[in-house]
Amino acid sequence: MVMIRPHIRMLAFLALEFEYIFKRRIKLIKKLCLSILMSIISYYLLLLTLDFIGLKNVNNLSQFLEYIEYRERVTYTGGSSVNLSSMPIFLKLFTYLFRPLPFEAHNIWAFFSSLDNLVLLIMFSLLLIRTIKIKSIHKNYKNFSFFILYFSLSTWIILSMITSNLGIANRQKWMFVPSMFFFLFCKNFGRKNYEVSPNFWT
């Protein structure tokens, strides 16, 4: 991840940092020291990441938004491309993770990919509905759930905003989809069917 996906590395490290900052069982002084140390590391990782993706000289929000538009144009190539510029954010998220669907397939490979997406959509919908109904997370999963959730959502949101090609999206999304489903499965089934040592995740 450090060598070939520094932007994903950055998101993963930030997720880890937030987990430790908001972890209740860590004493205040230890939490403060960890926060300072990880913030310094995050700063230098951010500089390396910005340099890698070509945003080293970006100084304001407008330049960052211009970069997002540029990435949309660059990836808007091939038969599996979609126009993201007019889509609201929730539709971009859906498009990135679940399209093409079977009725959108333009060749045999896109059709096989669409079947994969259909399975993901069904699983995600059922798990999400079940997750919303469950009000509490098993205490043994509180230690890692924030990290998994933050990493999955932040990666999903950022990549969905800059990727117009569904072929690229179908490859990229597997960097976070397993983590997201891992969280949903633990949220749904970990409480009743599995026993995990309280110190397992610490």
1-12 residue pLDDT tens: 667 777 788 888
In a domain, 49, yes or no: no
Is the entire prediction scored with pTM above 0.85? no
Task: Work out the mean pLDDT of the chain and round it to a whole number.
Answer: 76
- Greatest C-alpha distance within the chain: 59
Q: Is residue 134 in some structural domain?
A: yes
Please give the structure tokens belonging to residue 40.
Answer: 């310094």
In this prediction, residue 119 carries a pLDDT of 93
With a cut of 80, say whether residue 20 has pLDDT above it: no
**Count of H-run helices and E-run strands, the chain:** 8, 0
Asked whether residue 143 is assigned to any structural domain, the reply reads yes
**Each residue of 148-170: b (16+ CB within 10 Å) or e?**
bbbbbbbbbeebbbbbbbbbbbb
- Window from 62-66, 150-154, 159-163 with minimum mean pLDDT: 62-66
Beta pairing partners, 81: 165
pLDDT at 108 over 80: yes
Tally the domains of the chain.
Answer: 1
Q: According to the model, what pLDDT value does residue 200 have? A: 40
- Determine the Cα–Cα distance for residues 7 and 162; give it in Å rounded to an integer: 13
Asked if residue 44 is part of any domain, the answer here is no
Dihedral (CA of 97, 43, 51, 60) sign: positive
Residue 73 lies in a domain: yes
Residue 89, pLDDT score: 87
The owner of tokens 């759930």 is 145
Is 150 contained in some domain?
Answer: yes
80 falls within a domain: yes
pLDDT of residue 68: 63
The H or E element spanning position 123 is helix 108-133
Q: Provide the domain limits for residue 177.
A: 58-192
Q: Express each pLDDT in 28-68 by its tens digit.
A: 788 788 888 888 888 887 777 777 766 666 666 666 666 66
Residue 88 placed within a domain: yes
